[in-house]
With several copies, the nearest count.
Chain A
Amino acid sequence: MPRIAPSIEDALAAVTDGCVLAVAREVSGVAMAATCALVRRETRNLHLIALPTSSMQADLLIGAGCVTALETSAVSLGEFGPAPRFAAAVIAGALRMRDATCPALHAAFQAGERGEPFAPLRGLIGSDILKYRIDWKVIDNPFAADDPIVLVPAIRPDVALFHAPMADRAGNVWIGRQRELATMAHAAEKTVVTVERIHPGDLLADPVLAAGTLPGFYIDAIALAERGAWPLPLPDHYPADQEHLAEYARLAATPDGFARYLERYVHASRAA
């Protein structure tokens, strides 16, 4: 049974240097408080996989030197523009990039969830994404004549990390409509979750809540983190902190500014 860890830092024990870490897209629940803890802990050599995109979380981890390899369909700060630390790292050749496309990541995680070695995916043929993904294969669809199709290998990350509205004491986590979080946890070896609050009852006992619940069976550690997605949004709970994101975009545009951001908002929060 998963444990409710005494602290975020404690819950993150599974995220070791060099591990393959899967993270959620912005609208699914990004564990930003935990991300800051990883930066403070000086986690290194992460192989980060975004399902299927990332925003400030990937940019922050990359800027702080935590990431060696990145697989994603995009990293962007949305209306606040490109992700500056991500772009700088790619341009500097400091990041082993695996450019993907959203449904390829969904398919690869679903194959991982099912324990199958690969998944087929239409599209891609003739793109430079496929050209650079030498780990992807093209076969002839055996159910048709002269019909090439891409196979993407399954993704089974070491750890999946996300933020959710609530968990109960048995470690069941309510994820609502964010079904890819279930897929991510099913595919991963271990799953670490931060939550806004502890639900007093049993999430699986009520059929309506159970429909949106990821069973504790898949969860290794849970930590309480109120407003744990801040400054990103937690859908249906709180919106993005637009001002803070604008400030991040402004500061992260330069290495010095980024260092000031870390000092002010990431390292400082240790004391807070």
Chain B
Amino acid sequence: MQAAPPEDSCRDEELLACVIRGLIGDARHVAVGNASPIPAAAALLARAEGQGRPYVSLLQSRKHNFFTDGGRELFDCAGRGRVDVFFLSGAQIDGQGNINLVAIGDPARPQVRFPGSFGSAFLYYVVPKVILFRTEHSRRTLVAKVDFISAPGTSAPNVYRPGGPVALITNRCVFLFDKDKGRFRLASVHPGHSAAEIAEHTGFAYDAPETVGVTPKPSVQSLRLLRGAVAGELAEVYPQFTAQVFGRRHGSAS
């Protein structure tokens, strides 16, 4: 267990959580799937800053999860337009925003098999703001074309699609997704990273401004909330992550 860093510096996880919190913006309901501690921290931060708004559903949590209609309720909510923000990842993500959660190679006899698509092939279509999150930023994960489309980044104009990707966050940078072009645009590189490095480690083509900005560091206020109230809530679902990043344990005084 490490002590949290001082307020004038921040950990990578904290930076990413604050970037995501900014992308969440004003929302009524943010849902977070399994094994997503950084998006969960961002959603709880949004609620701490919004004084109770948005509703946050952490699917692994009993406490931060109001569902009482079984496993379908998240999807019913989303289909009915009641999930504003969701997070997805991909074993592969390509430049058109397609995500692959299934396999490398022929899916009938793959070289590698991943767990599966979960709810992505529905949620990616109906949740207005889907934030893609993949910390490993490499040519292995960010590819020209995914081997299997669990869910596509864009759809033909006649396909019902109120939702889709708005951004892709990695450990190196922030891409925003241009829905009309069906392409990513480099929005900022995280402190200590460079545009050239992004180009080197990204397997897909993307747009970029001539000079790319640096991802802004979290405000002191956000960091305080993150390390205080948010870490306390997060520890219920992600005890190891919370202890490691925030030096906090579930049930410890704030």
Contact = CB atoms under 8 A, between A and B. Distances in A.
Report if A and B associate in a common complex. Answer: yes
Interface of A: 1, 25, 27-28, 51-53, 72-76, 78-79, 82-83, 86-87, 90-91, 93, 97, 99-104, 106, 110, 112-116, 121-130, 132, 146-149, 156, 172, 177-183, 186-187, 204, 210-211, 213-217, 235-236
Nearest to A115: B79
Given A102-B119, A147-B160, A217-B66, A115 B76 contact: yes
Nearest to A81: B115
Kindly list the 4 A-B residue pairs having the minimum CB-CB distance in the complex, ordered from nearest: A115-B79, A179-B70, A74-B116, A76-B115
Contacts of A235: 62
Given A53-B116, A126-B156, A148-B158, 9 more contacts: A73-B118, A90-B110, A101-B117, A101-B150, A110-B72, A127-B117, A156-B80, A177-B69, A215-B66
Contacts of B2: none
B24 to A, nearest CB: 17
B125 A123 contact: yes
Nearest to A52: B71
Interface of B: 29, 34-35, 52, 55, 60, 62, 66-73, 75-82, 101-103, 107-126, 148-152, 155-156, 158-160, 240
A126 B152 contact: yes
Nearest to A210: B68
A156 B81 CA distance: 12
Given A124-B121, A235-B62, A75 B151 contact: no
B62 A115 contact: no
Given A148-B159, A217-B29, A101 B115 contact: no
Main secondary structure of the interface of A (DSSP, over half): mixed
A103 B108 contact: no
B62 A127 contact: no
A180 B78 CA distance: 17
Nearest to B81: A115
B44 to A, nearest CB: 17
22 contacts: A73-B118, A74-B117, A82-B115, A83-B115, A91-B111, A91-B113, A113-B76, A121-B122, A123-B121, A123-B123, A123-B124, A123-B125, A126-B152, A127-B121, A129-B117, A146-B158, A156-B80, A177-B70, A179-B72, A179-B73, A210-B68, A215-B66
Contacts of B149: 126-129
B118 A104 contact: no
A28 B110 CA distance: 30
Given A90-B113, A122-B79, A179-B70, A127 B29 contact: no
Nearest to B60: A27
Nearest to A205: B63
Contacts of A129: 102, 117, 121, 149-150
A187 B76 CA distance: 9
A214 B66 CA distance: 9
Contact of B62 (A72, A187, A236): A236
